[in-house]
Amino acid sequence: MGYLVLARHQGDQIRLTIDPGVDTEKLLKNLLRDGITLHIAEVESSRVRIAVEAPREVLVLREELVISGLNNDENHAEHCKP
- pLDDT tens per residue across span 20-76: 889 999 999 999 999 999 999 999 988 999 999 999 889 888 887 777 765 454 444
* 28 within some domain: yes
* 55 within some domain: yes
* 31 within some domain: yes
* 53 within some domain: yes
Q: Tell me what pLDDT residue 49 has.
A: 93
* 81 within some domain: no
Give, for 47, the enclosing helix (H) or strand (E): strand 47-54
Residue type, 53: E
For residue 10, the domain's CATH number is: 2.60.40.4380
Domain hosting 12: range is 2-72
Q: What is this structure's pTM?
A: 0.69
pLDDT score of 1 more than 90:
no
* 79 within some domain: no
* 40 within some domain: yes
37 CB-near residues (< 8 Å, 6+ apart): 52, 53, 54
Integer Cα distance of 63 and 71 in angstroms: 9
Sign of CA dihedral 79, 1, 6, 13: positive
Total domain count, the chain: 1
User: For the chain, how many residues are written?
Assistant: 82
